[in-house]
């Protein structure tokens, strides 16, 4: 007898429950599809999701204010709508139906008339004369918009400034001849609309994140397989066979390792075929990252298998381990959004190193081979540590 026969036996056992095996492979793809549909990037494409919704309340009702609103409407990045009152518009922002509220107050026309080109260079005032507030404009974003809200304020400020500067320039004899309405370019603004969820970004983050998370879901299945064989006495009979403990554990780990590789490969293939997700400039580098990620997941599964003794322990310890590691590593939220401390803490998980390698391969135009190699080495080190700990634990508890 050798480890190969044990591997073949466990593969037959794993494939015997075909529905569970198919669900294991299809469930992450189903969740990725739901995320794609929720963001309008798969089967439910909606162009408005890629545009910034601005609700405007015009209390000035002047020719200048109407011109400003028309200027905002000319930008394809915006979806402009009107509200009857500031209260109604604020409610739209709070409920998430609009990203930004712009209130054009009654004195806007007069403030624009008072504006001079020289005011742009007046940087010594505590409140610059070119601010939106001094122009009798009010902007409101959702309370939890954070940095995105500040970016939107900056974009709107630049557009308003671009709108009123030509008006002021025509009043100055020195600058009047420089201004020609037909030559003013008001189409270029900071591409803050790119902060909205777009297909490339969504799937470039979701597919690797869900792939890594569901790769480690195998630890529950692996632990349950060990427990069933322990309860049925199969493990005890295998221990009496002419095969070493190390070879026995290798033979029982390989089927789950191969299943993990199959699952990862299928997810990336579907990401390419169904969602048009690019594989980066050198897709071949995905192979070692997938193999090392699967090795760390299978080894962690072995360690858990030798630790738990009941089905309740598998459900509680295994699920808690999967969710905590996934949350810490960036499977639920991109690591780029983490604070510095959390970024360092996340590197204690194999998930983070796997995601780091996937990001390098998928998203970087020029791959840093050292980043990929270091990530793979850390994943292999994690796999060796977990497998060694599981082997030691199995030897000490096998006869119990």
Q: What is the DSSP string of 90-157?
A: HHHHHTTS-SEEEEE-TTHHHHHHH--GGGGG---SSS-TTSTTTTTEEEEE-TT-THHHHHHHHHHH
Alpha helices in the chain (DSSP H): 3-16, 18-38, 63-73, 86-94, 108-114, 147-169, 199-215, 218-232, 234-239, 245-275, 286-305, 311-313, 319-329, 340-346, 350-363, 369-397
Handedness of CA 197, 202, 205, 206 (dihedral sign): positive
DSSP state of 234: H
Q: Which of 103-107, 152-156, 189-193, 266-270 has the lowest mean pLDDT?
A: 189-193
The set of residues, in sequence order, having a beta carbon less than 8 Å from that of 122 and lying 6+ positions away, is 128, 129
Q: Do 110 and 212 belong together in one domain? A: no
**151's tokens:** 């970016």
Whether 362 shows a pLDDT value over 70: the answer reads yes
Is residue 296 assigned to a domain?
Answer: yes
Is residue 47 assigned to a domain?
Answer: no
Cα 72 from chain centre:
30
Q: Are strands 100-104 and 52-58 parallel, antiparallel or unpaired?
A: parallel
Q: Do 189 and 261 belong together in one domain? A: no
Whether 324 shows a pLDDT value over 90: the answer reads yes
Q: Do 272 and 363 belong together in one domain? A: yes
pLDDT at 345: 93
**308's tokens:** 């738990």
Q: Average model confidence (pLDDT) for the chain?
A: 80
> Using 50, 70 and 90 to split pLDDT, how confident is the model at 388?
very high
Range of the domain at 151: 52-195
Residues forming a β-bridge with 81? 55
CA dist., res. 218 & res. 213, Å (int): 10
Contact 291, 261 (CB under 8 A): yes
Is residue 213 assigned to a domain?
Answer: yes
Domain stop point among 151, 178, 195: 195
CA dist., res. 201 & res. 208, Å (int): 11
The helix/strand/coil state of 83 is: coil
Domain stop point among 195, 225, 250: 195
Give the pLDDT mean for 265-291.
87
Higher pLDDT, 365 or 294: 294
Number of domains in the chain: 2
Is residue 320 assigned to a domain?
Answer: yes
Percent of the chain exceeding pLDDT 90 equals: 24
pLDDT at 29: 77
Percent of the chain exceeding pLDDT 70 equals: 81
Is residue 347 assigned to a domain?
Answer: yes
> Using 50, 70 and 90 to split pLDDT, how confident is the model at 133?
confident
Q: Do 20 and 103 belong together in one domain? A: no
Q: Do 264 and 286 belong together in one domain? A: yes
Q: Do 179 and 118 belong together in one domain? A: yes
pLDDT at 186: 39
Is residue 109 assigned to a domain?
Answer: yes
Q: Do 264 and 382 belong together in one domain? A: yes
The helix/strand/coil state of 56 is: strand
Torsions phi, psi of 334, nearest 5?
-55, 140
Handedness of CA 6, 10, 13, 15 (dihedral sign): negative
Torsions phi, psi of 198, nearest 5?
-115, 160
> Using 50, 70 and 90 to split pLDDT, how confident is the model at 3?
low
Higher pLDDT, 248 or 192: 248
**36's tokens:** 């794609």
Q: Which of 140-154, 291-305, 323-337 has the lowest mean pLDDT?
A: 140-154
What's the CATH number where 189 sits? 3.40.1710
Inter-CA distances, 66 with 69, 80, 81, 356, Å: 5, 12, 13, 49
Cα 139 from chain centre:
29
Handedness of CA 116, 118, 120, 123 (dihedral sign): negative
């Amino acid at each position: 007898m050798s480890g190969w026969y044990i591997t073949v036996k466990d593969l037959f056992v794993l494939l015997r429950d075909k529905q569970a095996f198919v669900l294991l492979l299809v469930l992450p793809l189903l969740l990725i599809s739901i995320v794609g549909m929720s963001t309008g990037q798969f089967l439910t494409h909606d162009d408005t999701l890629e545009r910034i919704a601005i609700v405007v309340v015009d209390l000035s009702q002047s020719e200048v204010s109407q011109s400003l609103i028309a200027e905002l409407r000319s930008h394809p990045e915006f979806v402009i709508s009107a509200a009857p009152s500031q209260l109604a518009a604020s409610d739209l922002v709070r409920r998430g139906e609009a990203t930004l509220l712009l209130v054009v107050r009654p004195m806007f026309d007069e403030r624009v008339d008072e504006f001079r080109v020289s005011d742009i260079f007046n940087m010594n005032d505590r409140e610059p004369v070119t601010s939106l507030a001094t122009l009798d404009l009010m902007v409101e974003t959702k309370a939890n918009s954070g940095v995105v809200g500040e970016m939107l304020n900056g974009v709107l400020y630049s557009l308003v400034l671009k709108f009123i500067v030509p008006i002021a320039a025509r009043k100055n004899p020195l600058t009047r001849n420089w201004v020609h309405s037909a030559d003013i370019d008001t189409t270029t603004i900071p591409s803050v609309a790119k902060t909205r969820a777009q297909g490339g970004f969504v799937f470039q983050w979701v597919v690797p994140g869900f792939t890594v998370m569901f790769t480690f879901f195998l630890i529950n299945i692996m632990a349950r397989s060990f427990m069933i064989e322990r309860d049925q006495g199969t493990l005890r009979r295998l221990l009496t066979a002419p095969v070493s403990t190390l070879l026995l554990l290798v033979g029982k780990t390989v089927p789950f390792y191969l299943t993990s590789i199959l699952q990862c490969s299928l997810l990336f293939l579907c990401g390419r075929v169904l969602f048009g997700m690019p594989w980066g400039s050198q897709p071949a580098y995905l192979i070692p990252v997938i193999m090392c990620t699967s090795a760390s997941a299978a080894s962690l599964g072995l360690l858990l298998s030798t630790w738990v003794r009941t089905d309740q322990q598998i459900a509680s310890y295994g699920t808690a381990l999967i969710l905590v590691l996934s949350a810490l590593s960036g499977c639920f939220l991109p690591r780029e959004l983490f604070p510095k401390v959390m970024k360092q803490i996340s590197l204690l998980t194999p998930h983070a190193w796997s995601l780091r390698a996937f990001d390098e391969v998928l998203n970087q135009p020029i791959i840093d081979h050292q980043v990929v190699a270091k990530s793979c080495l850390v994943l292999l080190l994690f796999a060796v540590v977990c497998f060694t700990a599981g082997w030691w634990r199995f030897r000490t508890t096998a006869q119990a």
